[in-house]
Amino acid sequence: MEQAGEGFSNEQVDPSTLPDFERVELTPVAGAYIHWAQITQSAFWLLLGVAALIATKLPFLPLDGLWWLPLPPVAIAAIASVYARLDARFRAWALREHDLVYRHGVIWRKTVIVPFSRIQHVEALHGPLERYLGLMRVKCFTAGGMSADLTVKGLDRDSARRVRQYLLEQIAETADGGVESSVVTGEEGPSRDLD
Amino acid sequence: MTSIDLNAWQRLAPMALLFLIINGGAKFIRENLYAFAGAGAGFAFLDRLGLREFLLGGLVALLVAVLVAIIYHRRFRFRIEGDAMRVRQGLIENKDLRIRFARIQNVGLSQPIYFRPFGLVRFTLETPGAESTEVALPGISRELALALRDHIARAGGGVAPAADDDTGQDPAASADDRREGPDDSTPLHVPGNFRLFLHGLVSNQVWLIAGVAAWLAGTFRERIEQWVDATGVSLVVQRTLELGWTGAIGLVGSLVVLLFALSGVLSLVRFHGFDLRDLGDRVLAVGGLLDRREQNIRREKLTGLTLCQTALGRLIGQWYLIGKQASSKEFEMDPSSGQFLVPGMRRDDLVLVGRLMPGFVVPDSLHPISRRFRTLFWTRISAVVLFLAGLAWWFLPDLRLLVAAALAVLLVVLWAVHRSWRCWGWRVDDGVCWVQQGLIGLQRDAFDLALTQQATVVRTPYFRRHGLASVRLVLPHGQVTVPFLAHEDAVALANRAIHAAETARFHRV
């Protein structure tokens, strides 16, 4: 729907002719993502298991007979590790001419599509472990609150940089009216000059 | 009307100092009321405090408030700078804010009753990125406020600034020119006092009042009892209760009627004289008895709307409308507070939707969501309750009456699930998407698909087994979800939303 004005048209669109995001061939995340996901999701429980094991060996703690204490956290760590593996298997992404498609989730499988013309700015970031494993995340900010931001995890560093560069170019192109759209995209909030 | 140089630094009106003190005090009380009233600690403290200490403390607090207000008032300055408004303010740290007119989505003027003798108004600006009001000028002359409002409307609101360019005039210097008044506007909706009163009855405000009343009654029980005894109300209540069940039911009924009447009166006070007008590129809403508020909204900044009909509203056929705008707010305690709300609409007034948002037409019918919604919740809820009820029936024979009551509640819950399923609906017409949900009341969200920021298709194992999916569309004003769609419908809706966003000529956020 377009506001009444010059160039207004309202022709019928056949939904079957629209580009289908389901036909896109998605690229799986980098192989190192499995290690990153396994480590980050099970590290806490493994540490808890080790702490519980040490606690049962300490003479001044009345934990005699509780030899099984480290088992629950270790079991959770094992489940988290399996879950991380499945998560990595389903996680994939793709770039189309005008949008970014990202699929993730094991039980709730979500496919997110973000048009370039709606991205306000892009961030590429990596933590110490990601740096070590050669991974990078790309975060796309759109309007609609914090929950509207999309983080594409599991890209290798080169892909992430290329994706970020591509997104920035596309944002600039759409902001210049390179596609048919966009006048105010890419703007940030109100400018503030703080003394 | 005298000409005002908007390019020069302006200050708050001298009388605004008094209002800063009053507002500061009111804010302090509002923010600390819970702490004060909590568990009666505040009253206990006051009771132990002597009158002299109390007065001394109050005097010190007043001096501090006056000092703070004077510093704030002295440092507060604002002016027009080219295509933006600049505000300098601050108490401990200085804040220098510059807001471009293109980003402003609302200009608000409000005139509390105590401002009127002095001809002052409170002027506010709102932008999509801010969590609260971006700029508030607490106490400027009405003339200055109108000059600012009109200048912002001309410079950023879509009214061609070419006229100013042709004459070579500085737009800020000619703030009096082309001021809009009621003459060049078209009335859209004037509901009248009776409908505004009815709005109070049918809006959910009455439950809020009941909640606050219950909290106050619990917190200040002793003092209320003392007051009730002193005024002789307790005697009336006692006499009424002596009449037995009839008296008790009459008493409760009177209380309910009182609550509803109070809600109606509050609505009347809030919206008194409500008048919605079409100013071309903007809409103007004016209303309020004690606090006369004027909302000046750029039409292009409206990103959607919600039509609401509460359970009581359905009985008497009354709706209200909430205009949606881009916001960084994730959650709101009171969805109607500070929003663009149009009260007192009847079925005939629903054409207003199309006049506010061209191209929006309230659909007569909607596509239902899958029956699996009802089946899923019916089977899961029934299975759990029946299993627990069976166990209780077998092992706890003394509680069989309770089990029977639980089964009766289960029937009500199953009916509620059915109602919820019946209320869900969606439809896309000419690029405008309508999504309806509710239980006893109804809520219809409408938005332009071209404003979609992102689309998500979600499939759970249950959805995958039964060929279903949910679609979540992120919009500048929040998210809208359509659950339990056939998979192909969900994919088609997502594809359509993304296509609309990618081929839209403008991105109005």
ipTM here: 0.81
CB B369 within 8 A of CB B424: yes
Residue A65 phi, psi dihedral angles, 5° rounding: 85, -10
Name the residue among B94, B358, B504 with its Cβ closest to that of A181. Answer: B504
Strands B442-448 and B302-309: antiparallel
Average pLDDT over residues A33-51: 95
Other Cβ atoms less than 10 A from the Cβ of B411: the count is 10
Reported pTM: 0.79
Average pLDDT over residues A111-121: 91
Judged by CB atoms closer than 8 Å, whether chains meet at A1 and B326 is answered as no
CB B37 within 8 A of CB B220: yes
pLDDT by 10s per residue, chain B, length 509: 457 788 889 989 988 888 888 888 888 777 776 666 655 566 666 667 677 887 888 899 889 888 988 998 898 999 998 888 899 888 777 788 888 888 888 888 988 888 888 889 999 888 876 556 678 898 899 999 999 988 888 886 444 333 333 433 443 334 344 444 445 678 899 999 999 999 999 887 888 888 888 887 777 777 777 777 777 777 777 777 777 788 888 888 888 899 899 999 999 999 999 999 998 888 999 999 988 899 888 888 888 999 999 999 999 999 999 998 886 554 443 444 557 899 999 999 999 999 999 889 999 999 999 999 999 999 999 999 999 999 999 999 898 999 999 999 999 999 999 999 999 999 999 899 999 999 999 999 999 999 999 999 999 999 999 999 999 999 988 899 999 999 999 999 999 999 999 988 655 45
CA A137, CA A46: separation in Å to the nearest integer?
Answer: 25
Other Cβ atoms less than 10 A from the Cβ of A2: the count is 18
CB B128 within 8 A of CB B102: no
CA A28, CA B389: separation in Å to the nearest integer?
Answer: 48
Closest CA to B256 of B308, B300, B295, B312: B312
Return residues 163-182 of A near B (CB < 8 Å): 179-182
CB B326 within 8 A of CB B134: no
Judged by CB atoms closer than 8 Å, whether chains meet at B504 and A193 is answered as no
CA B135, CA B133: separation in Å to the nearest integer?
Answer: 6
Name the residue among A144, A148, A191 with its Cβ closest to that of B100. Answer: A191
Residues of chain B neighbouring A21 (CB-CB closer than 8 A): 457, 491, 494-495, 498
Which residue type does B458 have? V
CA B67, CA B215: separation in Å to the nearest integer?
Answer: 35
CB B292 within 8 A of CB B286: yes
What is residue B105's DSSP assignment?
-
Q: Which of A10-24, A145-159, B293-307, B346-360 has the lowest mean pLDDT?
A: A10-24
Other Cβ atoms less than 10 A from the Cβ of A102: the count is 24
pLDDT computed for residue B194 by the predictor: 94
Exposure on the CB side of residue B53, measured as CA atoms within 13 A: 6
Judged by CB atoms closer than 8 Å, whether chains meet at A142 and B459 is answered as no
Judged by CB atoms closer than 8 Å, whether chains meet at B430 and A1 is answered as yes
CB B114 within 8 A of CB B19: yes
Tokens 């997502």 correspond to what residue? B494
pLDDT computed for residue A58 by the predictor: 86
pLDDT computed for residue B277 by the predictor: 92
What is residue B459's DSSP assignment?
E
Identify the closest residue of chain B to A100 by CA–CA distance. B454
Return residues 323-352 of B near A (CB < 8 Å): 326-330
Closest CA to B260 of B316, B194, B314, B197: B197
| Span between the terminal Cα atoms of chain B, in Å | 35
The runs of H, that is alpha helices, within B324-471 are 352-356, 372-395, 400-423, 461-466
CA A78, CA A60: separation in Å to the nearest integer?
Answer: 30
Judged by CB atoms closer than 8 Å, whether chains meet at A113 and B460 is answered as no
pLDDT computed for residue A175 by the predictor: 64
Q: Is the dihedral of CA B380, B381, B385, B386 positive or negative?
A: negative
Structure tokens at B452: 């979609």
C-alpha distance from residue B89 to each of A126, A156, B98, B135, B210 (Å): 38, 47, 12, 10, 40
pLDDT computed for residue B487 by the predictor: 96
Question: How many interchain CB pairs under 8 A, A with B?
Answer: 177
Judged by CB atoms closer than 8 Å, whether chains meet at B501 and A195 is answered as no
Structure tokens at B248: 């008790």
CB B103 within 8 A of CB A192: no
Residue B481 forms contact with A (CB below 8 Å): no
CA B461, CA B66: separation in Å to the nearest integer?
Answer: 63
Closest CA to B40 of B221, B256, B306, B246: B221
Judged by CB atoms closer than 8 Å, whether chains meet at A114 and B453 is answered as yes
Closest CA to B78 of B150, B146, B147, B10: B10
CA B425, CA B420: separation in Å to the nearest integer?
Answer: 10
Which residue type does B507 have? H
C-alpha distance from residue B248 to each of A181, B224, B255, B353 (Å): 66, 20, 11, 45
* Helix B205-219 × helix B245-271 angle, to 10°: 120
Residue B130 phi, psi dihedral angles, 5° rounding: -90, 145
CB B252 within 8 A of CB B240: no
Structure tokens at A100: 């970014």
- Ordered DSSP codes for chain A: ---SSTT-------GGGSPPGGGS-PEEPPTHHHHHHHHHHHHHHHHHHHHHHHHHH-TTS--TT-TTTTHHHHHHHHHHHHHHHHHHHH-EEEE-SSEEEEEE-SSSEEEEEEEGGGEEEEEEE--HHHHHHTEEEEEEEESS-GGG-EEEEEEEHHHHHHHHHHHHHHHHHHHTTSSS--SSTT--S--B---
Q: Which of A55-59, A87-91, B385-389 has the lowest mean pLDDT?
A: A55-59
Cross-strand partners of A94? A101
Name the residue among B98, B358, B360 with its Cβ closest to that of A193. Answer: B98
Tokens 């309806």 correspond to what residue? B436
Judged by CB atoms closer than 8 Å, whether chains meet at A144 and B475 is answered as yes
- The SS3 of residue B111 is strand
Name the residue among B84, B474, B503 with its Cβ closest to that of A142. Answer: B474
User: Which residues are within 8 A (CB) of B323 and not within 5 positions of it... i.e. 6 or more apart?
Assistant: B297, B302, B305, B339, B340, B341, B342, B356
Judged by CB atoms closer than 8 Å, whether chains meet at B95 and A117 is answered as no
Exposure on the CB side of residue B491, measured as CA atoms within 13 A: 15
